[in-house]
Amino acid sequence: MNLITGNQLSMTSREMADLVEKRHDNVKRVIETLADQGVIEFPQIEEISTATKPVSVFIFTGERGKRDSIIVVAQLSPQFTARLVDRWQELEAKQGKPFPQIPHSFSEALQLAANQAKLLEQQAPKVEFFDRLVDRETLMNASQVAQKHKMSAIKLNKILEDLNVYSKTIKRGRVFQQWFIDNGFGQLRQTELGFSQALFTPAGEAWVCEKLISEGFAA
């Protein structure tokens, strides 16, 4: 299934799962993980009708959607990257539009993501390079913190955005505001692939918990 939003072509996470021959729930988990790490943007969520029951799917739209969908497939099944590219080309051909240059292999897809992460790193305050020897057991990502409060990472991140925890000047990925880092609530680390990741310290988790309660989001 593919959708057309205005003049932009879109592809759902369910169609991506069919293309790479993976379970849809597994594909969605990979999408959420990559989005939480700031590798891709959180895509739009919509509910579509099926023969049995409505299904919640992620929608990848436009040029950004193409790029992010390829990163997801490169993570899931590198051997099927070309299959996804062929599908985007097919959709573009139906609209009579020239197909822009996008990665055609696993390495090119990772390189594109690394380039975006490098730009994010240059703009971010005090990003620390990932050290394999660092004990990260005490650090948590948004998904882990959200799970303790029985909510999705998407919902938690939206609340934290409203609380000015994340920098609004950086559109791709999530980077803590400097005050949050200076108070010892969070750290910015860089993974081996060059992606910046916002991680919460125990003090940061406690701060989030207190805010969720005071703001009426948790009991």
Q: What is the pLDDT of residues 12-52, one digit of tens each?
A: 999 888 888 889 998 998 898 888 887 788 888 888 877 77
| Angle at the Cα of 129 from the Cα atoms of 115 and 42, rounded to 5 degrees | 50
| Predicted local confidence at residue 90, as pLDDT | 77
| Predicted local confidence at residue 97, as pLDDT | 54
Rounded distance between C-alpha atoms, residue 37 and residue 157, angstroms? 12
pTM across the whole model: 0.42
φ, ψ dihedrals at 143, nearest 5°: -60, -40
| Predicted local confidence at residue 159, as pLDDT | 92
Return the half-sphere exposure (C-beta side, CA atoms, 13 A cut-off) of residue 59.
Answer: 16
8 Å CB contact between 16 and 72 = yes
Tokens 């590198």 sit on residue = 78
Query: Which residues in the chain show pLDDT less than 70?
Result: 1-8, 78-79, 82, 94-137, 170-172, 191-195, 218-219
H helices then E strands: how many in the chain? 9, 7
| Predicted local confidence at residue 102, as pLDDT | 54
Rounded distance between C-alpha atoms, residue 174 and residue 24, angstroms? 25
The domain limits of the chain are 2-116, 124-214
Rounded distance between C-alpha atoms, residue 43 and residue 58, angstroms? 6
Rounded distance between C-alpha atoms, residue 181 and residue 12, angstroms? 36
Q: How far is CA 172 from CA 115, 120, 124, in A?
A: 12, 7, 11
8 Å CB contact between 82 and 162 = no
| Predicted local confidence at residue 118, as pLDDT | 58
Q: What is the pLDDT of residues 63-77, one digit of tens each?
A: 788 888 888 887 777
